[in-house]
Amino acid sequence: MARRPIIAGNWKMNMTPSEAEGLIKALIPLVADAACDVVICPPFVDLPLAVTLTQGTNIAIGAQNVHWAEKGAFTGEISATMLKSLGVQYAIVGHSERRQYFGETDETVNKRACAALQAGITPIICVGESLAQREAGETENIVSNQTEAALAGIGAEEVKTLVIAYEPIWAIGTGKTATKEQANETIGCIRATIEHMFCRDTAQAVRIQYGGSMNPGNAAALMAMPEIDGGLIGGASLKAEDFAKVVKY
């Protein structure tokens, strides 16, 4: 089964609304003929503008997080309903920076993913091992446990629609990319976990990205690997030309 590639830019905590406007306007013509799904995930304050500017283009907008409750006393959080009402189509869930700095756990990742799906937003669920875990030979165990926990209670049909990003923590923002073989192998292990939890059809349908220092120089080689269906791009998504080159790997 052919899976449509999906390249997403994770802007992290970068770009004021006026900077975002410039970047999005520069990006629109550069990716207009892309052969894959294109998503950008700006900070919350840029989302209304991003949705407006990309209307009628092939760029979809994602948030960088989403809360599990519909509304209520959760100071500082944003609900899936709020994002949906704005026209946001994707939400990154469980990025390693959130797990590391903001107490995100496998359980909260699962709750956020479920809430996103319920509101009609596609979660991009991040999993990945630390350097110590890789060196200890625990990579497969870690990513497969994270995947199982993140997908708990979600039906097979919904799992088919969501996106998983395999991001080895040691490769994020470090300039150190996983080799294409390492990325392919670990993504294969994530897919095997999904097959074990659900069925082969589900595992073959779900799109799994690689993330971690992916850039114009290494995108083509990574994307040529059979298990890799896309990329979650941090640093290289902040320059229109670079991100467009990754999109058109």
Q: Give me the residue label for tokens 């080895």.
A: 168
* Total of residues contacting ligand PGA (CB under 6 A): 13
Which residue's CB is nearer to ligand PGA, number 198 or number 242?
A: 242
By CB under 6 A, tell whether 234 contacts ligand PGA: yes
Residue 173 binds ligand PGA (CB under 6 A): yes
Residue among 5, 6, 7, 10 that touches ligand PGA (CB under 6 A)? 10
Q: Which stretch binds ligand PGA (CB under 6 A): 67-75, 100-108, 129-137, 229-237?
A: 229-237
| Residue 95 annotated in active site | yes
Distance CA 191, CA 185 (A): 10
**One residue of 172, 208, 219, 223 binding ligand PGA per CB under 6 A:** 172
Q: Are 108 and 148 in contact (CB under 8 A)?
A: no
CA 121 to chain CA centroid, nearest Å: 12
**Judged by CB, which is closer to ligand PGA: 55, or 100?**
100
Q: Residue 188, interface with ligand PGA (CB under 6 A)?
A: no
* Of 10 and 139, CB closest to ligand PGA: 10
Dig out the tokens for 17 from the structure: 């609304």
**Is 196 annotated as catalytic?**
no
C-beta closer to ligand PGA: residue 88 or 126: 126
Q: Per-residue contact track with ligand PGA, 200 to 219, x per CB under 6 A?
A: -----------xxxx-----
94 binds ligand PGA (CB under 6 A): no
CA 1/CA 90 separation, integer angstroms: 23
Which one, 67 or 99, has the nearer CB to ligand PGA? Answer: 99
Strand pairing of 90-93 and 163-166? unpaired
Catalytic residues: 95, 167
Contact set with ligand PGA (CB under 6 A): 10, 167, 172-173, 211-214, 232-236
